Amino acid sequence: MIAFQSMTKEVVMPEEFIAGNPQKGAELVADCAACHGQNGIGLSSDWPNLAGQNQKYLYEQLKYFQSGQRENVLMTTVIDYLKILSDEDIRDIAAFYADKSSNIGAAKNDEELLALGSQLYKAGDFKRGIPSCSACHSIYGQGNNQAGFPAVNGQQKGYLVSTLKAYRSGQRNAGEYSKVMQAVSMNLTDRDIEALANYMHGLYE
């Protein structure tokens, strides 16, 4: 808990973000639809939705993939393409997906799992050193636009599980913000992660 608190204090508020042009972005995403769908809804539970995601967050993650700081086997298929794009192109792609309507998923109706997910998401577990997720991702999971904290509502369940485990193991480590999530996920059990993923997948306002 102490480590986590000191880490969140170090988070520097980002500078003003320059928005991209979604119409231009639409012309740059043909290679992405095979996995992320025409409108940014992932075609598999393991592939993230990009629709309605925070624009600044999308931009930053694409820059991490472009530079090789964030790595994923499936995303390597588009790395050569990302490398020829300018920062402006990447902003436009981020704007294109941010503009789409986010997904509404349905949580598995397992009472015990839902209770655990809801409790951890909204309140965390102080004794186990788990902060509340809603503090940064908001109560309905839309994230925080100004801070560039990503939305998690309706996100694909398989992806939520794998990415939380990747933060926990330290494997997902691109950029300063990843350290926040490494500290957040440090004390989560596999069961906690399953419960949180189920809850976030079904979250909407």
Which spans of this chain sit near ligand HEC (rule: CB under 6 A)?
8, 29, 31-32, 34-36, 47-48, 50, 58, 61-62, 72, 74-75, 77-78, 81, 93, 120, 130-131, 133, 135-137, 149-150, 152, 160, 162-164, 175, 177-178, 180-181, 184, 196
Nearer to ligand HEC, 41 or 180 (CB): 180
Is residue 133 helix, strand or coil? coil
Q: Least distance (Å) from ligand HEC to the CB of residue 137?
A: 5
Report the largest interatomic distance among the alpha carbons of the chain, rounded to a whole angstrom.
49
Distance of CA 82 to the CA centre of its chain: 19
Nearer to ligand HEC, 44 or 110 (CB): 44
Residues 6+ apart with CB under 8 A from 139: 122
Q: How far apart are CA 50 and CA 143, in angstroms?
A: 13
Q: Least distance (Å) from ligand HEC to the CB of residue 56?
A: 10
Nearer to ligand HEC, 8 or 39 (CB): 8
Q: How far apart are CA 165 and CA 185, in angstroms?
A: 8
Distance of CA 1 to the CA centre of its chain: 22
Q: Least distance (Å) from ligand HEC to the CB of residue 199?
A: 9
